[in-house]
Amino acid sequence: MLKQRIITALILAPAALLAILFLSVDTFQFVVAVVMGLGAYEWGNMSGLIQRRMKLIFTIIITALCIGLSIWVPASEIWVQGELHLVFYWVLALASAWWAYSLVMILLYPKASAFWQHSHLIRNLFGVFTLVPTYVAIVTLRSSLFDVDPFYGASLIFYVLGIVWAADIGAFFVGVKFGRTKLRPNVSPGKTFEGLAGGVAASMAIIAFAALHYQVETKSITLHILIGVITVGVSALGDLNESMFKRCAGIKDSGRILPGHGGILDRIDSLTAAFPVFTFCYVVWMA
C-alpha cells in the first residue's frame, strides 16, 4: 500500500506542478474541468448512485457545466480591468453560502439529515455546489494578473495548497499526540479540536512566508492572517463534508482511481471548500 501511494504521488505531483505553471489558461480550464468530471463520478458513489450509467450521466453534467462556463466566460474575459466577471463572482458567492450551509448540516448531523440523506437528487445537487465552484475558483486564481505576470496566479494556487497541506500535516501530528476532544464524532471520529488548532498553527508558517513574499503592508497583515485562518477552517469543513456523505453511503473511499490513495475526492476534499472560499475572499478584499 505504501509503495503504491509513493508511486502515485511521484507521478501526480510533477504532473500537477507542470499543469499549474506552464499550461495556457485555456488549456488549464479544460484540464480542471476533466478533473472535476472525474470527481463527479466519485460523487455519484457518495450520493448513493449504484448504476454506472447514472454516475456517467452526472459526470457528463458536471464536465459540461465547467466547459460551458469556459465558453461563456473565455479566459480573456475572466478578469477585466481588475474586476472579476459577474458570472464567476456570483458562483463564488453562492459557493461561500453553500459552505456556510454545509457547516449547519454537519453540526446537525444526523438529526436533521432526513430531508437529504435519502434523496439522490439533493445529494447530487450538493455535488454541483461543491465541484463547479471549485473549478471556477481554481481558474479564477490561475488567470489573475496573467497579462502582468503569467506565474502570479500559479503562486496563489500554490499558496492555498501550501496552507491546506500544512494544516493537514499539523492537524495529523497534533491530533495523534494531543487529540482528546472530538470535533464531530458522528461525522469523522478521528478529527479533534486539538488537531484543528494544530493545523491552524502549522499553516501560520506558510501565511507568514506569503506575507513576506508578497510584501504585504503592515495595515493589511491582520486581513491577510484572517483570510488564511478562514481558509484553513473551511478546508476542515470540506474534509468533514465528504466524510459525512461517505458515511451516508456506507463507503470508506470515494473511489479507487488513485492506487494507494483512494479516489480523487479523497485527496481534494479539503480543497473543494478552501479554493472557493479563499478565492471569494481574495476577490472581495485583496484583488
pLDDT in tens, 12-70: 888 889 999 999 999 999 999 999 999 999 999 999 888 999 999 999 999 999 999 99
How many whole angstroms separate alpha carbon 190 and alpha carbon 172? Answer: 9
Is residue 183 helix, strand or coil? Answer: strand
How many angstroms separate the Cα of 39 from the Cα of each of 48, 77, 131? 15, 26, 8
Question: What are the grid coordinates assigned to 68, written together?
Answer: 460551458
Alpha-carbon distance of 269 to 235, in angstroms, equals 8
User: What interhelical angle do 221-249 and 120-143 show, nearest 10?
Assistant: 150
Which parts of the chain have pLDDT scores under 70?
1-9, 259-261, 287
Per-residue confidence (pLDDT) for residue 256, from 0 to 100: 81
Report the b/e string of 211-230 with b at 16+ CB within 10 A: beeeebeeeeeeebeebbbb
Domain locations in the chain?
A: 2-286
**Residue 281: CB partners within 8 Å, gap ≥ 6?**
227, 230, 231
Residue 1 is predicted with a pLDDT of: 53
